[in-house]
Amino acid sequence: MSTFNNAYDVSREAEMKEPLDFNRRSRLKHVDRVFKAEILNIIHLTEMEKLYQIRLLDPAERARFSFLPGQFVMLEVPGYGEIPISISSSPAKNGYLELCIRRAGVVTGALHRAQRGAKVGVRGPFGSHFPMEEMKNHNLLLVAGGLGLAPLRAPIFEVIDHRPDYGDVNILYGTREPAQLLFDYQYEEWGRIDDIDLRIIVEKPDPGWTGPTGMITELIGDLEIDPRRTFAIVCGPPVMFKSVCRHLVEIGVSMRRIFVSLERRMHCGMGKCCRCNVGSTFTCMDGPVFDYWAVMNLKEAI
């Protein structure tokens, strides 16, 4: 009989037997298999957001897991579903991940009810990253609005972990109200590091607020930015990052040196399901990190 009748078992391919590694694109792998992870600590940030410290359970997987600042993972709660979450921890911590999660739907709802010790699944890392190598020996302007501090936290840690490689660092953060400020327990530390300047602004102050009040663009005006020596990362809602990016372009920062992280509803993370498609672009593969020139060329409203 023809050899055709011998069923082909894809699981027997050598590549499929290698340890699961999502960094190795274009290799056959169990694309829907998750790394099992455990919730180690749950840190309450605001009424809406919690930070989950998780670790991959398998020590080998944990050590092998690596990512670059700006990348995201698909977080699976079996029975509930899978959601894309940007990684908020230091890349140096490998498979000890920190994920900042806002309660918005059923999956995040389940996570907000979950207790320490609960098991979740992780696929990834996926997507593009901030070009930390290229940014070396330059000044950095890191701007976040609202939940945008979550994706910005990985590059902040990367800079702290490799402090001598970078020039002056300005971190600007703004939210609507003081109660929405994320990671407030870290401001003290970040602000005290040599040549890292942290400034925070809110739109609507409460009685206890002593800092500046207004839109985040007001903070940028106060800074002295050398456009030829500066890279910028801007994370936040579209209205916010557009106005910040426009301002930076006006003062002469190259569009190719301004990076944003776009949030879209990825379902697969692998450029297959098309749900995060913006015109010709797959946010999960070509993004979530884009330079501002690429953003200008996206046809769809962002």
Partner 1 sequence: MLFRILSRDRFRTLVETIMETTEVVAPKKVGVRSDGEPIHQFLPVADFDEMDLAHETTEHSAKTYFLPYRENLSTYAFSDDDWQQEVHYRIQPRAMVGLHACDINALLRLDKVFVRDHFPSPYYVSRRRNTLIIGIDHEPCEGGFCRSLGTDTVTRGFDLYLTDLGDRYFVAVGSDHGFDLLNQVGVAEISDRDTADYLEERKRIAGLFTTEVAVQNLPNLLDIEFESEVWKTWGAKCLGCGSCAMVCPTCYCYGTTERVSMDFSSGSKEKHLYACTVVDFAEVAGGHNFRPDRSTRLKYRYYHQHRGFVEAHDEPKCVGCNRCGRACLTGINPLDVIHDLQAEDEA
Partner 2 sequence: MKYLGIDSVRPRIAVFELTGCEGCELQLANKEETLAAFLDAVEVVNFREISSSSSDDYDIAFVDGAVSRADEVERLEVIREHAKVLVALGSCACFGGVSRLKNAFDLNEANREVYGDRPQETLPVRAVSEVVAVDLEIPGCPVSKDEVERIVQHLIWDVPYHFPAYPVCLECKQRYTVCTYEVGLLCLGPITRAGCNAPCPAGGLGCWGCRGPAVEANAEEFLTTVHERGFTNDEIAERMSFFGGFEGLLP
Nearer to partner 1, 108 or 139 (CB): 108
Nearer to partner 2, 31 or 106 (CB): 106
Mask 164-193, x = binds partner 2 (CB under 8 A)?
------------------------------
3-state secondary structure of 214: coil
110 binds, among partner 2, partner 1, none (CB under 5 to 8 A by kind): partner 2
Nearest-angstrom CA–CA distance, 22 and 29: 8
Supply the DSSP symbol for 227. Answer: G
Minimum Å gap between C-beta 152 and partner 1 is 21
Query: At CA 230, angle to CA 226 and CA 232, rounded to 5?
Result: 130
Containing H/E element for 245? helix 238-250
16 binds, among partner 2, partner 1, none (CB under 5 to 8 A by kind): partner 1
Return left, alpha or beta for 223; rule: phi > 0 is left, psi -120 to 50 is alpha, else beta: beta
Nearest-angstrom CA–CA distance, 224 and 8: 63
Supply the DSSP symbol for 213. Answer: B
List 62, 64, 80, 242, residue binding partner 2 (CB under 8 A): 80
210 binds, among partner 1, partner 2, none (CB under 5 to 8 A by kind): none
Nearer to partner 2, 93 or 103 (CB): 103
Minimum Å gap between C-beta 50 and partner 2 is 13
113 binds, among partner 2, partner 1, none (CB under 5 to 8 A by kind): partner 2
**Residue 33 near residue 20 (C-beta atoms within 8 A):** yes
List 54, 68, 75, 107, residue binding partner 2 (CB under 8 A): 107
List 118, 193, 255, 273, residue binding partner 2 (CB under 8 A): 118
Range 16-23, long-range pairs (CB < 8 A, 24+ positions):
19/60, 19/61, 19/64, 20/61, 21/64, 22/123, 22/124, 22/125, 22/126, 23/66, 23/67, 23/125
Binding site for partner 1 (CB under 8 A): 1-11, 16, 25-34, 36, 78-83, 104-105, 107-108, 118-119, 121, 264-265, 267-268, 270-275, 277-281, 285, 299-301
